[in-house]
Chains A and B, each alone.
Chain A
């Protein structure tokens, strides 16, 4: 597949932009990033709007954009489960999460495992919750990486073996580096860019695809 130069240029530019954003984000609502609370929760300094962007950028991501459409393409209407699921989850979260938040804030809990240990007083249960959380997140991250790989392949940068994997490795290393240094501030800053891009993509898709393919 030949290299798609305009697409590649856009990709590299946007990636450079978010790399800069990711590293600069450490200065956003500055705090002492050696504290876990600052690194993991941005010191709770994020307000409603930024949290909206952050959640949107993380929830409406490779799962919503690639996995669910792929499922619908393959399995048909079954894939539409994602819509009622989301419709039901938000009211549920609305009722449950404020209480969780205030309890966690009062006791200084940062993760679900902290909360479990505080609530049930059992460190083994907390460990089990922590390990389950990490293991359960891995397929989700793997999905993100597959998504990036598909995008890179579509740009025409192909090839098998180690050289073919190199762009993905570089991308992942950069992402890991600025998340390590900036904590939650990095994904939050990038989520804003990501959300804008997603909005543009959705609007363009809704407009351009019917125009090209007719309805």
Chain B
């Protein structure tokens, strides 16, 4: 099974979605706070934990969008 890079320029744009986790996680000042709390847990913690399923979801979207139709 040979994996080729996706054909066509537009398919590769999907990969830009995967930049979102990097931007979100590196931009620490955006989440470096305690409020709004959720169940007593500071924003800092639950926001980062939330990005785990978001990141997985984005990867899932990109996977399906860039799969070769064989």
Chain A residues at the B interface, C-beta cutoff of 8 Å: 77, 80, 83-84, 86-88, 90-92, 94-95, 98-99, 101-102, 106, 215
Cross-chain contact A99 with B3 (CB below 8 angstroms): yes
Which residues on the A side are within 8 Å of B40 (C-beta)?
A: 215
Main secondary structure of the interface of A (DSSP, over half): helix
Given that A87-B51, A99-B3 are known contacts, is A94 also in contact with B18, CB under 8 Å in the complex?
yes
CB-CB nearest 8 A-B residue pairs: A84-B25, A91-B18, A102-B3, A83-B48, A87-B55, A87-B51, A98-B3, A87-B21
Q: How many contacts A-B (CB < 8 Å)?
A: 48
Cross-chain contact A91 with B49 (CB below 8 angstroms): no
Cross-chain contact B15 with A90 (CB below 8 angstroms): no
Cross-chain contact B48 with A87 (CB below 8 angstroms): yes
Cross-chain contact B48 with A95 (CB below 8 angstroms): no
Cross-chain contact A91 with B3 (CB below 8 angstroms): no
- A80, B52: Cα distance in complex, Å: 13
Known pairs A91-B21, A215-B40. 12 more at Cβ < 8 A?
A80-B45, A83-B48, A83-B51, A83-B52, A84-B25, A87-B21, A91-B58, A92-B18, A94-B59, A94-B62, A99-B3, A102-B3
Which residues on the B side are within 8 Å of A99 (C-beta)?
A: 3, 5
Closest to A86 in B: B52
Which residues on the B side are within 8 Å of A87 (C-beta)?
A: 21, 25, 48, 51-52, 55
Cross-chain contact A101 with B3 (CB below 8 angstroms): yes
Which residues on the A side are within 8 Å of B44 (C-beta)?
A: 77, 80
